[in-house]
Chains A and B, each alone.
Chain A
Amino acid sequence: MLYLVLALSSGVVGGLIIALMPNVINHLRKYIVLLFSTSGMLFSWKVASLVFAGESVRLSCEVGGMGFCIDPDPLGAIFGLIASTLWLFTAVYSFGYMDEKHKQRTYYTFFLMSLSMTLGVAFSGNLLALYLFYELLTFSTYPLVIHERSSEAVKAGAKYILYSLSGAGAILIAVVITYSWSGKLDFTGGPIFAGFTGAGFNWLLALFIVGFGVKAAIMPLHRWLPAAMVAPTPVSALLHAVAVVYSGVFGILRVIYSVFGHELVRQLRISRVLPWIAAFTILAGIIIATRQDILKRRLAYQTVSHLSYILLGAFTLQEWGLAGAIMHMISYSTLKITLFFCAGIIAEQTGETKIDGMSGIGWLLPKTMAAFSVATMGMIGMMPLNTFWGKYYLMKGSVAGGKWPLALVLIGSGIINAICFVPVIINSFKGERSMQNYEQGGKVNLMLAPTVFLVVTALIIGIFPGLVWPGVQAVINCFY
């Protein structure tokens, strides 16, 4: 239990220290961020290992007359691992990207606090704790979205809060209804609604999915995400490609498996529509991506598309579907962050944000574009990247669920991903080799190192999927 507390508090404590640090020791800031990100990661790994070993790590308290409970299970542990590990990488990247930028104190404060909030969502053991950390996550990421303080950033922030709070409101109603119908809110000991039936559950499930779907960027609730790309690249990479949006996806996974239970969902009529909603988002997202000129926005729509891969896996209600969803969660996150990191390096070193202007950039930033190419291959779902396995299991799950057109959707989306990004890569390597090398200097190294590391990790997991398979297996065993 101690590890749980330490893991959750690393971010908040670190954030507070940075917020209150006197100005004279500003140069120590990076070390403190590094320290607390690392500690967050290490303690999350410890908690995860305890959970996978079968031990129960629980922390519950009565606050405000209602019980809040932190109790990670394998699903939560995996999310926590993904989040905290990638947080460390993003921290290192931030050191390079945010060098000499303004408002670093605010940035790092809320950067660390959001870590705690995400871990809170991941490790939450009942609906109230999930809701609480979900709301707090919105508020702790808001200052990061409006970081640039431009009018565009402020508008994006307003949209972000509006969408998120409305979604959270829907979730609150759904939580109250859950409490009123079942009397319990805990995730342990089987689904909350085990053994219940009724038509009203269709509406309740719809309410939950709309509520969490805002953060999970299901269309048409995704509109805040492209707008939020005005944030600094590390924020877009980590939060809006991994942490915040994964909270939404995680929420939906929790609803289907821990609140309703897949047997109940199977009986509901709405479960027949859900995979198609996910399929629509997959295709529509990536198609809209092809029409975007700003690289970050193109990546944002690709995010929208790929998040629904995970949701598709969940909505098939099959074991293989869930396995594919979890695999995709793990693999997609590493590669998406890589793509965003590359976009950030390009923007920082050359000032280009639009794809039109990126011809020949590959020669200026060879390592960056190499990482970008490998990551794009992963997005398409090709061997030997780790996303291949995720897609494979997703397709297996679709077929097992009797919905083989979904497998076609996945293949089609892979093709459209290729159409979307391969020309960008080819364009960037046009022209001849240049003698300039923009990839020199400590700042770029700080940005490149995590990028390359992540690509290598993805390759390793792709070649040896057995490394992550036990975790996936544990999640499936938990729910099936």
Chain B
Amino acid sequence: MSILLEKLIINYPYSIAVVLFIIGALTVLTRSSLFKKLLGINIMETAVFLIFIAAGNIRGGTEPILSEGNPGTVYINPLPSALMLTGIVVSVSVTAFALALIIRLHRTYGTTDANCIAQMRKEVIDR
């Protein structure tokens, strides 16, 4: 048990990422406000980014910019960071799109609560 705790603390980025992922997933599934669902998605994506970036990190490494130092410098892996930049851009686009859809839904239904919208839709269908 203590070994497990020790491992969790040593690999703290990954543990935090897992916690974030779960928080994000729960937010998406349980919250009824559309904004909160969107935020949940964002948090989940952040969790995954964190995993990648933490994987690229090397303890004791410097930033991955070639310099005139000694040839034995350890650079951290630049690739995951670059990939995650792409990921962040994707996340931003998705957020923007989702916000636009929320605005459109708000214009139609006057609310941004998923349950209320479902309710209103049911009423329309019943009518």
Query: A and B: direct contact (Cβ < 8 Å)?
Result: no
